[in-house]
Amino acid sequence: MYELTNYSEVVVKKVLDDYIANNNIQCKCERCLADIMAYALNHLPPRYFVSHKGEVLTSFESQTLPDRTRVLAEVVYASVIVAANPSHSKEN
């Protein structure tokens, strides 16, 4: 009925999608992208909110959204960290 969503995660996912669409990063495998998201999210404040399941997020207060410039900076930094020390090779 209700679900808990971290809006920072939504924004990081969107920013990361845009970033890898327009930039060459060393590896775009599922593991590396998840590592980049985890690293960026650990450096950003969480923005949890409760919504009805499947509800569109338009009603969420825009002033509480994480700053997109800061999110992009964390995503770029995370991609450098992950590229330097990828986890995928340990699993494959």
Give me the residues that bind Zn ion (CB under 5 A), please.
27, 29, 32, 88
CA angle in degrees (0–180, nearest 5) for 9-2-75: 0
Quote the least distance from Cβ 28 to Zn ion, whole Å: 7
Other residues' Cβ atoms within 10 Å of the Cβ of residue 92: 7
Quote the least distance from Cβ 77 to Zn ion, whole Å: 17
Quote the least distance from Cβ 91 to Zn ion, whole Å: 9
CB 32 within 8 A of CB 88: yes
Q: Which is nearer to Zn ion, 20 or 27 (CB)?
A: 27
